Amino acid sequence: MEQKRAQWGSRLGFILAATGSAVGLGNIWKFPGKAYEGGGGAYLILYVAIVLLIGMPCMLSELAIGRASQSNMVDSFKRLGHKKFTWTGWVGWVAAVVIACFYFHVGGWVLRYVYAYLAESKEVYADPLGFFYGALGYDSVTGASRFPWETILFAFLFTAACAYIIIRGVKGGIEKFNKVGMPALFVLLIILLVRSVTLHGALEGVMYMLKPDFSKINGHTLLSALSQAFYSLSIGMSIMVTYGSYLPKEDDLEKNTLVVCVMDTLVAIIAGFIVIPAVFATLGSESVGKGGGFAFVSLAGVFREMSGGVIFGFLFYLLLLFAALSSCISIIESVVAFLTERFGWNRTKTTLVSCIILFLAGCLYTCSQAAFDIKGIWFDFVNGITHPAFCDAMEFVTDRLLIPLCSLGCCIFVGWVWKPESAVAEAERCGKKFRMAKAYSFLIKYVAPAAIILILAVSLFTGTTLS
Ligand code: PFF
């Protein structure tokens, strides 16, 4: 039974939803630390170039596959007459499933901290690391472990919020949420930016971000910026194919891609100008870091040092919450779209059952952080089979293998099999000329696949972490 496919209600609706997907924790807690390591302004220049030359063609290709096939990621290749590429769809879908498992829980930690800055800021300030460990079920004084049920409860609430939005549908749920969530996120960004750059001593951080120090750029920085661009633009995880499939035929793919990439990059850069000057002004430049430990532990020291820190801390975690929610709903939508379309299942029941299963599987992620010693599995050609902590294994599998592999499949498919002309024709359906068509064809055929092969090779053959 063929159901009528959902569509975005407006072009703005799509842009806000796709930007919401792209703007996530990657922009706020990964990008600033990477920009600092990569020489501030020098990294910004490098990153913008990568987004333009590699990120944009890859995103446009995924949107074109989605809109042309009018299908979820797994079935899209078959719909376009190339069943052999269905493996790419599966890799992207599995990436979405694994990421969703742990993002539900990371979203739960963020919600936990929104609450903490409202009600328990004294406890956070007294011992930021102890508080963080405590939230993950580990008592840093006695060394005792327990099931972190409060944090799991917050993750459950976060999951429930995602499920609710997905059940309301593409237009009535995802688009509606992002129409409020994205403007709110931008307002929060501006408030935090103004606070940060007006702190006494912030100027040094601002200058660091503006002055390009090219001596910090090396092969590793380049590859790390490349993998950051894929993650940040939500490429290689089946999201953009799914979101593209809800685009009306008259929408301009070239312009939409440009706007989403610019917005995502802008948010990352603004986050850099919030985090770096604030750390320089309070704890000193040597405290700049990245990832969850930095966002939850080090930044508590930053907020403690500034006047009005509790309020700004609360606003910062609220910002993270909006970013996490809008990203998470995009990934759940990709998981659910496949299940409902392939098996004809009911959207509400499928969403509920998938969210429950993914949430339960993700409990292992939170529990393996500090409370329990749960091991995962990983393989690379340097270290062979290893058993990293379960949480790390989940991130290794997605960042180092599934996302690059899915992106590579999409590039090869569009560049060499479906052909760039088909993607260009899809982009020109709106009646407007695809002005960068020639450059696009070259980049998607040669440059993007070469870059992804490099990421895969370095991850697998040198065992290096690029995230
Ligand atoms: N673009 C997102 C980010 O930068 O955080 C990546 C992402 C992660 C998208 C998790 C969706 C998701 F559920």
pLDDT by residue (tens digit) across 320-336? 999 999 999 999 999 99
User: 22 C-alpha to center of ligand 1: Å?
Assistant: 6
- In angstroms, rounded to a whole number, what is the distance separating the alpha carbons of residues 462 and 449? 19
| Ligand 1, atom nearest to 328 Cα | 13
pLDDT value at residue 464: 84
Torsion of CA 12, 14, 17, 19, to 10 degrees: -80
C-alpha gyration radius of the chain: 21
Residue 10 confidence class, pLDDT cut points 50, 70, 90: very high
- In angstroms, rounded to a whole number, what is the distance separating the alpha carbons of residues 361 and 22? 24
User: 232 C-alpha to center of ligand 1: Å?
Assistant: 6
User: In CATH, which of 1.10.4160, 1.10.10, 1.10.1660, 3.40.720 is domain 31-462?
Assistant: 1.10.4160
- In angstroms, rounded to a whole number, what is the distance separating the alpha carbons of residues 273 and 459? 29
- In angstroms, rounded to a whole number, what is the distance separating the alpha carbons of residues 105 and 332? 14
Residue 255 confidence class, pLDDT cut points 50, 70, 90: very high
Q: Does 246 contact ligand 1 (Cβ within 6 A)?
A: no
User: 266 C-alpha to center of ligand 1: Å?
Assistant: 16
Q: Does 25 contact ligand 1 (Cβ within 6 A)?
A: yes
Is the predicted pLDDT of residue 2 greater than 80, yes or no?
Answer: no
User: 335 C-alpha to center of ligand 1: Å?
Assistant: 14
Q: Does 414 contact ligand 1 (Cβ within 6 A)?
A: no
| Ligand 1, atom nearest to 323 Cα | 5
Neighbours of 438 (CB within 10 A): 11
Question: Sign of the C-alpha dihedral, residues 214, 219, 222, 224?
Answer: negative
pLDDT value at residue 96: 98
pLDDT value at residue 463: 86
- In angstroms, rounded to a whole number, what is the distance separating the alpha carbons of residues 26 and 404? 16
Phi-psi region of 34 (alpha: psi -120 to 50; beta: other; left: phi over 0): alpha
- In angstroms, rounded to a whole number, what is the distance separating the alpha carbons of residues 165 and 432? 34
| 348-362 mean pLDDT | 98
Is the predicted pLDDT of residue 5 greater than 90, yes or no?
Answer: no
Is the predicted pLDDT of residue 193 greater than 90, yes or no?
Answer: yes
Identify whether the C-beta of residue 35 lies closer than 8 Å to the C-beta of residue 279: no
- In angstroms, rounded to a whole number, what is the distance separating the alpha carbons of residues 393 and 196? 35
Is the predicted pLDDT of residue 4 greater than 80, yes or no?
Answer: no
Is the predicted pLDDT of residue 1 greater than 50, yes or no?
Answer: no
**Token pair 């931008």 in the structure block, residue:** 186
Q: Write the residue with the smallest CA distance to atom 9 of ligand 1.
A: 327
Burial class (CB in 10 A: 0-12, 13-18, 19+), 17: buried
Distance of alpha carbon 63 from the chain centroid: 17
Identify whether the C-beta of residue 403 lies closer than 8 Å to the C-beta of residue 45: no
Burial class (CB in 10 A: 0-12, 13-18, 19+), 240: buried
| Ligand 1, atom nearest to 100 Cα | 13
pLDDT value at residue 217: 94
- In angstroms, rounded to a whole number, what is the distance separating the alpha carbons of residues 203 and 196? 10
Who contacts 316 (Cβ-Cβ below 8 Å, separation ≥6)?
A: 188, 192, 299, 303
Q: Does 24 contact ligand 1 (Cβ within 6 A)?
A: yes
CA angle 231, 271, 161 (to 5 degrees): 65
Pick 2 or 138 by higher pLDDT.
Answer: 138
| 287-314 mean pLDDT | 95
- Beta-bridge mates of residue 145: 138
pLDDT value at residue 370: 87
% pLDDT > 90, the chain: 97
Q: What is the pTM of this model?
A: 0.96
Could you tell me which of 29, 342, 393, 328 has the C-alpha nearest to residue 161? 328
Strands 384-386 and 378-380: antiparallel
pLDDT value at residue 52: 98
Interval 177-191: pLDDT, tens: 999 999 999 999 999
Interval 17-56: pLDDT, tens: 999 999 999 999 999 999 999 999 999 999 999 999 999 9
Mean pLDDT over each residue of the chain, to the nearest integer? 96
Q: Does 39 contact ligand 1 (Cβ within 6 A)?
A: no
Interval 100-141: pLDDT, tens: 999 999 999 999 999 999 999 999 999 999 999 999 999 999
Burial class (CB in 10 A: 0-12, 13-18, 19+), 218: exposed
Distance of alpha carbon 166 from the chain centroid: 18
- Beta-bridge mates of residue 386: 378
